[in-house]
Chains A and B, each alone.
Chain A
Amino acid sequence: DAGITQSPRHKVTETGTPVTLRCHQTENHRYMYWYRQDPGHGLRLIHYSYGVKDTDKGEVSDGYSVSRSKTEDFLLTLESATSSQTSVYFCAISESYSRAENIQYFGAGTRLSVL
């Protein structure tokens, strides 16, 4: 998985609880992304980061926040989980130079269930 580790891999939580998902990379890539994937929706971008402490919103950012204090770690937080956030979450990374930066490499995913 191109040196990308997502944790936890599976999580079941209750509505209203905070949840943090972690993405750790060993590739020293500049860009990191969080996506969610739901049946029939492909991948939808939640937030992304183009450097340490540099983040921006994606198309489905409501209810999510992110932090990147180190190059290798990108955290996704659900402040108060809702059932609509039940999904599979993928982290991705891409390089910082030349056209190679367009190619994203994905982690194995985290399956989150909010009951």
Chain B
Amino acid sequence: EDKVVQSPLSLVVHEGDTVTLNCSYEVTNFRSLLWYKQEKKAPTFLFMLTSSGIEKKSGRLSSILDKKELFSILNITATQTGDSAIYLCAAHTNAGKSTFGDGTTLTVKP
């Protein structure tokens, strides 16, 4: 059975802090690891990772994949209140479907 585990499940920080969100996966026929952000509505795409060790970066957010150890991390530096959201990771397979983790709820306080 395919499985994706995210940690921590929730996190409360103050503006300016740096956070690291974790995602481990065990899936058959792994193809890619994706991160999504969900703010009280539909999830929106952040990153797609297919190769180990190559960092993807977008502003204050960055992510990396380790295909040997089967995990990924999402870093957010200099957090802002607008970063408050649920962050979901998903492992996508060659069968064309994704298995999602339960998400990390990030709350950034002013």
Contacts and interface: CB of A to CB of B under 8 A. Distances in A.
Contact of B88 (A31, A33, A43, A99): A43
A61 to B, nearest CB: 12
Contacts of A42: 6, 88, 100-103
B42 A90 contact: yes
A41 interface: yes
Given A99-B50, A103-B34, A43 B97 contact: no
Interface stretch (A19-27, A72-80, A106-114): A106-114
B96 A40 contact: no
Contact of A59 (B32, B50, B95, B99): B99
Give the interface residue-count category, chain A: 20 to 34
Contacts of B95: 56
A45 interface: yes
Interface string A65-104: 0000000000000000000000000100010000101111
Contacts of B44: 106
A50 interface: yes
Contacts of A58: 97
Interface string B87-110: 010101001111111110000000
Given A42-B102, A102-B32, A103-B48, A33 B42 contact: no
Contacts of A101: 96
Contacts of A62: none
B42 A106 contact: yes
15 contacts: A42-B102, A43-B88, A45-B97, A45-B98, A48-B96, A58-B97, A59-B2, A90-B43, A99-B48, A102-B48, A103-B45, A103-B48, A104-B43, A106-B42, A109-B42
